[in-house]
Chains A and B, each alone.
Chain A
Amino acid sequence: MNVIPPLLSMLVLVGLAVLPSSHAEEAGVVPSSRGRVVIEATPGEDLSEKLQAAFDQTRATGGGTVFLPPGNYVLTAPVCLAGRAERYPKGGVNGVTLEGNGATLTWKGPDEGAILDLPGAAFCTIRNLRLTGERGKGWKNVVGIRYRGGVERGVHGGKNNMFQQIEVQNVGIGFEVGGLYGPDLVGGTFLNCTTINLRIGYRFAGANVTSMVIINPLVAGYEEAGFQILGFTARKIRQNADEPVPPAEIPGAPSVLMDLENQNELFQKDLPAWLTAKDVSYPTFRRDEGATLWAGGGSLEITIYGLLGHSRFINSWMFDTNWGNVRVYSARIEGMGGILRQTAELPDSFPAGHYSTLFEDVNATSLGGTTGNVIEIRNRAPFYLIGGSYRANVALGNNVTLYTLGSRFQTSARPYASVLPQGYKEPLDGRFEKTGGTYVLGQLRGKGDLWRITPVEKPGIVQLPGTKGASIYELSQVTRLTLKVPKGATSVEAKLSELAPQVDAGYSLTATPGFDAGSLWYEGKRDDAVTIRFERAPSSDSTIDVTISRSPNRYLGRSS
């Protein structure tokens, strides 16, 4: 009988000692110290369950580091850094690091959802990892890493997360940040990340998705966009399709809640209950004395340092946004698509114009994608174009303001052929000549149609067709010449041979004679010279001072 108390104690001991890590003690997951979880696996193994169990463990310990073993592994189910929703139905994930150790995870699940999901993440890190879809599958929708609010867990924010040395390839979207409701995501740093062969490299969506800094990214082989940036207006969340549709705040922007692809409407029944509660105020809210439910809207901005980009898809854009803002400091972008497109023309009342778009030392070799424009701006928030070189037009919409300093527009010595994948829809305003030839697409494993692009002959800053009122504030190159006027002459030629040659005669002249010349005017303005005429000839040899003012950014260049 005396033995029973100690035995009971031992049983209690064993039971309690085991309990805290019961979820983690699944095969191959070694909780070697508090918060330190080392995954053991054999190459080729499906790690979905082990990895999820590891994140369940770090969620239980309130943070920690999960170590992947080096090598190639498979995932067949999405993995959530916040732990399994059924075990952890509330709250986000805090202070969890995934050390990839250079491992490659190949996705063999369906073309939907996210491979690594980070709802409500704060102070988390994912490092040194490669995520890849199966090459040739042509994934369109599955997301490599999704950093979002986490509305299903009653959380709607995240901050200060780090994504470092990650390569995502052969999936639909590399990184998706934000969501439909303006999640409060503050601070995301993407350092040395690579996205290759995807539909979209990075997608940023929502309002208050801010301080997103991307350092030294390589974005290549994007079919649709390198960076897609989606701002939202307030959108009505209807109970059903019978509820009236409100007018759009911005022409072309949806006034009801649509999914991120803008294809399917989301109704109240599709949302977690707390988002549709009577007292909800954020991220959805009620208007008209609670009669109508709305999703919040706003803008967002991202900053990029040192971009290297490449896409051979003509109809792609490196930056494709409705009215989101982007700042790019130094970039080298090669390939054939457009560089920046802002599609929304915001009304004056819309507050998204606080932030500006800035391209500083962005160098692009594209001939202008489908439109002949490498940049198309409709958002009237100021656009700053500093330095850089372009081979096609920068086109501005209604009343857009552009400040430019020394950006160069070069002509290209030759047009080049491009190959479009089969099934490509010809743009209505395209400027291609279809040759009828076909070409084998190495990476897409199929044939494409051969097209020929006509380069813009004299690239520069232009007004978008059908718009007016753009303002361009630019550096002017001012050159002063003193021309000798022989006695008896009534004209003199000003040669521009000392100046860098430009593609056209886009300069202005002013002149002051050193004698009583009567009326003074010019004739025959050419790109290399202009004739100054005057009514009265000088009675002795004299001079005329001429000032030539021109934009410095259109010059005769040559493609390499």
Chain B
Amino acid sequence: MRLMPLILQAVAVLLLTVAPVCGQPAKPAPWEVHPAFADLAQGADISPALQQAVDAVRSRGGRIVLPAGTYRMTHSVDLAGTLRKFPNGGPQGMTLEGNGAVLIWEGKDEGAVLDLPGITGCAVRNLTLRGHPSRQWNHLIGLRYRGGLERRNHGGKNNLFETIGLEHLGIGVETGGLFGPDLVGGTFLNVAVRDVRIGFRFMGQNVTSMLLLNPVVEGYRQAGIEIIAFPGRQVRANSDEPRQAPPTASNPGVLMDAEGEREIFQSDLPAWMSAPEVTYPTQWISPPGGKRWLQAGGGGLEVTVYGLRARSASQAAWAVDTNWGNVRIYGGEVAGAGGVFRSRVAMGFGHYTTLLKDVVAPDARGPEGNSVQLLGKGPLYLLGGTYGGQLALGRGAEVYEFGAVFAAAPPVAGLVRRYHPTQTTRTSLWPTPGSTELTVAASEGGTFLPGFNAGGHWVERTSTGHLRLRWRHPAPEGAFIDAVLESPSIDHP
């Protein structure tokens, strides 16, 4: 009995010491960890549990925290929930916290490991998706961020993909779709793709504000970043329906799959997309006197990349490969044999530009010895950077080049504008009527041509570094003289 007070006091002291430090044991929130993960052993198939977890939080949003470790996947997981249970709309505000888990795909070479139809405000973080290394994958997609047509949904925005590894896959990330989904805002932060056919694929119209920060794309067999824009395409009822236009190199004329291999007919689409009243993302065209036909919308898209690291052993692969989509790369290193940038389709000027700034690719030569190959008109901005191959341009292509270094031959065709370190100012001078001279500032000289019969003109250099332009016949009223003046550098006023 005499010990009790001492014991109780000791317990009290112990608790007082511990309580403020540890507080209460961590208590998971009901939306945070799904019980399906509780008994999951390392190496188990996580697909069913993960789909259950998604279904559990799909209707209210929330956070799925994967257990750390390595797991198998045999079935695609749909972040919009099981279609049967959630036939409409997309998820909002859902976060998949990978906790560093590695998910190894052992299913078929098709579809997507993680499918993200119509997602908004969602995040996928800290996760590795890997195809089983026993085979080469060609079609399997790691992350697919798309519109979600099967749920009558055709948009998504403001999603974040952060610290993700994608390895041994057909395509690391596929964003967009065949019909111009309204995907606005996708940030890919610290995503590394390795040993794939295509690293990132972006396709469609209105797939915009796609930002890749510090991506790594290595071991791509076909393209590091593939950008596919679409023209308007006919969606035929069947192969008997006449084509509205013959196929060309830039436009197959009819709706094809993303690989351009198989035609897609109306029967392949959700019924609502070919309904009579549909206007988006397909629409019926009714030409006067002609038979109405269904069209899939078209347009361009653009992707922005900061700090690209690309490497491929395949000379046939391109770090960025596009038909006529736009890409802006701010700082990058392209190692290996493949080319840096290729646009395959001759298109006119678009609103948006392609820009390669400070891209270092000393060995990149592509299959034809070109580092950069522009068939479209561009314009292409080349600001700094080093390229091991040529700059090859199609007819009418326009390039603004400022300090880029091409180790091989100079540009082979097209129009290239170089910005010289000497400042050249083009101007018009208005001489006073009746005058026969005027003075201009041009320390490196200038050339002149009068807009009137001056009877001959010449320049004298003054002691102050100015040029005095003189001519014989007095200048008439309203006369002017064209001048190109050169200075050694730009002086800040």
Binding site for B on A (CB under 8 A): 2, 5-6, 9-10, 12-13, 16-17, 20-21, 30-34, 36, 38, 40, 43, 67, 69-71, 99-104, 128, 130, 164-165, 167, 191-192, 194, 215-216, 218, 305-308, 329-330, 332, 360-361, 363, 365, 382, 386-389, 399, 401, 403, 405-406, 408, 410, 471, 473, 475-478, 500, 507-511, 518-523, 525, 533, 535, 547, 549-552, 555, 557, 560
Contacts and interface: CB of A to CB of B under 8 A. Distances in A.
Contact of B493 (A99, A329, A471): A471
Contacts of A555: 349
Given A408-B379, A473-B490, A522 B158 contact: no
Nearest to B415: A500
B462 interface: no
Interface stretch (B3-11, B80-88, B165-173, B334-342): B3-11
Interface in B426-454: 426-428, 447-454
B417 A509 contact: no
Contacts of A306: 209, 211, 304
A361 B328 contact: yes
B209 A216 contact: yes
Query: Which residue of A33, A40, A410 has the most chain B CB atoms within 10 A of its CB atom?
Result: A33
5 contacts: A2-B2, A20-B19, A30-B29, A128-B123, A523-B451
Interface string B382-425: 01000000000000101010100000000000010101000111
Given A6-B9, A306-B304, A547-B447, A521 B490 contact: no
B173 to A, nearest CB: 16
Interface of B: 1-2, 4-5, 8-9, 11-12, 15-16, 19-32, 57, 60-63, 92-95, 121-123, 157-160, 184-185, 187, 189, 208-209, 211, 213, 302, 304, 306, 328, 330, 349, 351-353, 355, 379, 381, 383, 396, 398, 400, 402, 415, 417, 419, 423-428, 447-457, 472-473, 482-484, 490, 492-493
Contacts of B121: 102, 128, 130, 165, 167
Say what secondary structure dominates the interface of chain A.
strand
Given A306-B304, A475-B400, A511-B449, A361 B351 contact: no
A410 B122 CA distance: 38
Given A9-B5, A20-B20, A329-B330, 18 more contacts: A2-B4, A6-B9, A12-B12, A31-B24, A70-B94, A101-B63, A128-B123, A330-B355, A332-B302, A332-B351, A401-B492, A405-B400, A406-B400, A476-B484, A510-B447, A521-B450, A549-B424, A549-B484
A363 B428 contact: no
A21 B23 contact: yes
B448 A560 contact: no
A477 B93 CA distance: 50
Contacts of B30: 69
Contacts of A16: 16, 19
A21 B415 CA distance: 71
B336 to A, nearest CB: 26
A560 B232 CA distance: 14
Contact of A406 (B306, B381, B427, B454): B381
A386 B383 contact: yes
Nearest to A523: B451
Given A17-B19, A101-B63, A560 B93 contact: no
A308 B209 contact: yes
Contacts of B451: 521-523, 525
A405 B419 contact: yes
Nearest to B185: A218
Contacts, number: 254
Contacts of B157: 194, 218
A417 to B, nearest CB: 21
Contacts of A560: 351
Contacts of B63: 70, 99, 101
A387 B25 contact: no
A308 B2 contact: no
Contact of A216 (B26, B32, B60, B185): B185
A363 B208 CA distance: 13
Contacts of A38: 27, 29
B95 A128 contact: yes
B27 A32 contact: yes
Nearest to A33: B26
Given A34-B23, A102-B92, A547-B484, A70 B209 contact: no
Nearest to A387: B381
A547 B419 CA distance: 17
B26 A406 contact: no
B492 A382 contact: yes
Contacts of A13: 11-12, 15-16
Nearest to A406: B400
A99 B61 CA distance: 13
Contacts of A475: 400, 417, 419
Nearest to B482: A508
Contacts of A510: 447-449, 482, 484
A549 B328 CA distance: 29
Contacts of A476: 424-426, 484
A549 B446 CA distance: 12
A535 to B, nearest CB: 7
A520 B472 CA distance: 12
Contacts of A410: 349
Contacts of A361: 328, 353, 355, 381
A34 B482 contact: no
Contacts of A36: 26
Contact of A387 (B353, B424, B473): B353
Contacts of A165: 121, 123, 158, 160
B454 to A, nearest CB: 6
Nearest 9 interchain pairs by C-beta? A102-B93, A70-B61, A406-B400, A32-B27, A6-B8, A508-B482, A102-B61, A510-B447, A13-B12
Contacts of A382: 492
A5 B6 CA distance: 9
A70 B57 contact: yes
B267 to A, nearest CB: 32
Contacts of B349: 408, 410, 555, 557
A521 B160 contact: no
B482 A218 contact: no
